[in-house]
Amino acid sequence: MINEMLVQFAEWLYATGGSRAIEESFYLYNWIETTHVLTIMVCLGMLAFIDLRMLGYALPNVSASTIADRLNVPMMIGFAIMFVTGLLLFYAKPTYTNQSIWFRIKMVLLVVAFFNAIRFHRHMKASASTWCNEPRAPFNLRVSAALSLGLWAGVVTTGRLIAYDWYHCYRDLPGWLSAAAGCVAE
């Protein structure tokens, strides 16, 4: 039932003028996608340095809370740009993207990364004053940092794979994969 609702929503979006305008224009979709991909350098680049600091692999002699505080703002600016361009990319190709198993996995990974970030933030706030000048963060924060790197690597990979239709609904898919990818009976 959820898949049917999502397909209807995607088809409704597809029929809107804005969606057609973006997908059918010469440059607009390409610019939006280019911005989305290039902003990886800003958002994930800053995040990589924060996580690497927690793991002790970058800027070990600088206070970890300083690194996190200073790099947080450019990271969030990058994330805001990626979020908006991501929404526009979905809006331009809603029916294809909705039924992409890679897109769905990417969304799950993003949600898990979000909760991991909240958990990381809470632990950091509670304990930073006791260890922020140590080269490595305490174990639970290192786990969060490593998980963050892994989850975002997954987000990047699944994001890249959205363009490939190996497991799309018109292929001969096993039942579980067909349901997970949001395929509905025609």
Residue numbers of the site for another protein (CB under 8 A)?
Answer: 26-27, 30, 33-34, 37-38, 40-42, 44-49, 52, 58-59, 61-62, 66-67, 70-71, 73-74, 152-153, 156-157, 160-161, 164, 166
| Residue among 109, 119, 108 nearest 150 (CA) | 109
Minimal distance, residue 49 CB to another protein, in Å: 6
For another protein, the closer CB: 58 or 184: 58
Minimal distance, residue 12 CB to another protein, in Å: 27
- Tokens at 178, concatenated: 């067909």
Minimal distance, residue 15 CB to another protein, in Å: 23
- Tokens at 171, concatenated: 């292929």
Minimal distance, residue 151 CB to another protein, in Å: 12
Minimal distance, residue 54 CB to another protein, in Å: 14
CB 106 within 8 A of CB 159: yes
For another protein, the closer CB: 15 or 41: 41
For another protein, the closer CB: 70 or 142: 70
Eight-state DSSP code of residue 146 = H
- Tokens at 136, concatenated: 């490595």
Minimal distance, residue 5 CB to another protein, in Å: 30
Which of helix, strand or coil describes residue 84? Answer: helix
> d(Cα 124, Cα 185) in Å, to the nearest integer?
48
For another protein, the closer CB: 7 or 106: 106
CB 134 within 8 A of CB 63: no
> Phi-psi category of 2—alpha, beta or left, where left has phi over 0 and alpha has psi -120 to 50?
alpha
Cβ partners under 8 Å of residue 8, min gap 6: none
